[in-house]
């Protein structure tokens, strides 16, 4: 069977309230949705990226994969990468490739009538998650409510908040919010994410305080993820695990991060790194370095592939993406009990897009 059609649309969904992390503020999220068909079945993929990804998909990626054998996804992945050579892969292009790659894998699984996790091969039955949000724009009451929902209502035993407010300019408020989170969540694991907002020395000072006083276990992007020496320096300075990798768009990026000894746990995002094809390669790289991998955001798109690797730590159950995916897709997976369970009774990743519901948000 061959690919006969590829289509893409972009949707802009407002946040439920203003949001920010250590280095960026936003009030909406753009999602690019892709379908790939063989004349009978349709595969579904998506990415969280700019609307410009639609043009990359329709102008370059669709011609590259239409007419290809649906069973030859690695060949299609290489063909797509070559088609975009002159645009440069990192960023928007990699996100576009990722969405098409996910749709191709979903299509193949639907053709075979199997769940994606069974097509990949199962390494586990459940996928641990951590609640993620806690934006720096939240007041204490909003933060408390969100944390309590994750820990008390959904029984998620690990949660993460944003710190590094205004590029590290508000350390006292950062520490206040960490202390608040610890009071609310009790014995649950506490993670923090600075989104590269600190210098290495700032991260070390605050990281030691958070680790010693509030048992912070995970410090994500304490410095820019491009500062591999800085990450390694922070990693060696206190006991919390340092994590990074969400901005990895090529396999080389992850290899260099691992060679630098920059992280205790490697992150990778299916919707950015090149789809399922590259995410599984990144997991193997981490495994070869005796490290675990964590899926960044887009929880429902990660569930099946995350269940296929033996060195998974968890997947980020990110507030924005959870909200969007449960609103616009059927077949999403709840995080109750702190884990997603891939649905093996439905082919592919088991989700379908609510086109009518999404239409008011369409921008391209």
Give all domains of the chain, ordered by start, each with its CATH number.
5-113+354-361 (3.30.390.10), 118-352 (3.20.20.120)
Q: What is the rounded radius of gyration, in angstroms, for the C-alpha atoms of the chain?
A: 20
Backbone angles phi, psi at 128, to 5 degrees: -60, 145
The residue whose two tokens read 């992945």 is 77
Question: Do residues 267 and 245 lie in contact, with contact meaning Cβ atoms separated by under 8 Å?
Answer: yes
Per-position pLDDT tens, the chain of length 364: 999 999 999 999 999 999 999 999 999 999 999 999 999 999 999 999 999 999 999 999 999 999 999 999 999 999 999 999 999 999 999 999 999 999 999 999 999 999 999 999 999 999 999 999 999 999 999 999 999 999 999 999 999 999 999 999 999 999 999 999 999 999 999 999 999 999 999 999 999 999 999 999 999 999 999 999 999 999 999 899 999 999 999 999 999 999 999 999 999 999 999 999 999 999 999 999 999 999 999 999 999 999 999 999 999 999 999 999 999 999 999 998 999 999 999 999 999 999 999 999 999 9
Which tokens go with 317? Answer: 């159950």
């Amino acid at each position: 069977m061959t690919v006969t059609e590829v289509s893409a649309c972009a949707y802009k969904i407002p946040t439920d309230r203003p949001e920010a992390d250590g280095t960026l503020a936003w009030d909406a999220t753009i999602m690019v949705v892709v379908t790939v068909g063989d004349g009978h079945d349709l595969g579904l993929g998506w990415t969280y990226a700019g609307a410009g990804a639609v043009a990359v998909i329709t102008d370059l990626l669709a011609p590259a994969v239409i007419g290809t054998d649906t069973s030859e996804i690695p060949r299609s992945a290489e063909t797509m990468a070559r088609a975009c050579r002159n645009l440069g892969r990192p960023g928007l292009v990699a996100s576009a490739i990722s969405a098409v790659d996910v749709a191709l894998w979903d299509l193949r699984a639907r053709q075979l009538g199997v769940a994606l996790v069974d097509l990949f091969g199962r390494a586990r039955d459940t996928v641990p998650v951590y609640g993620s949000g806690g934006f720096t724009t939240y007041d204490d009451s909003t933060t408390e409510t969100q944390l309590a929902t994750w820990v008390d209502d959904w029984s998620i035993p690990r949660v993460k908040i944003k710190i590094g407010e205004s590029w590290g300019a508000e350390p006292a408020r950062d520490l206040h919010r960490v202390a608040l989170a610890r009071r609310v969540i009790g014995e649950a694991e506490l993670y923090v994410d600075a989104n590269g907002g600190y210098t290495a020395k700032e991260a070390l000072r605050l990281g030691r305080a958070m680790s010693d006083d509030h048992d912070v276990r995970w410090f994500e992007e304490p410095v820019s993820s491009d500062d591999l020496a800085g990450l390694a320096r922070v990693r060696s300075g206190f006991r919390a695990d340092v994590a990074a990798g969400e901005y990895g768009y090529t396999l080389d990026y992850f290899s260099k991060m691992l060679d630098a000894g920059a992280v205790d746990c490697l992150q990778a995002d299916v919707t950015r790194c090149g789809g399922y094809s590259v995410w599984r390669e990144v997991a193997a790289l981490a495994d070869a370095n005796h490290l675990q991998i964590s899926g960044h955001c887009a929880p429902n798109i990660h569930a099946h592939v995350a269940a296929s690797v033996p060195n998974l730590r968890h997947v980020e159950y990110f507030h924005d993406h959870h909200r969007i995916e449960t609103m616009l897709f059927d077949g999403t997976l709840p995080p109750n009990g702190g884990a997603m369970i891939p649905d093996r009774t439905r082919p592919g990743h088991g989700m379908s897009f609510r086109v009518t519901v999404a239409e008011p948000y369409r921008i391209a």
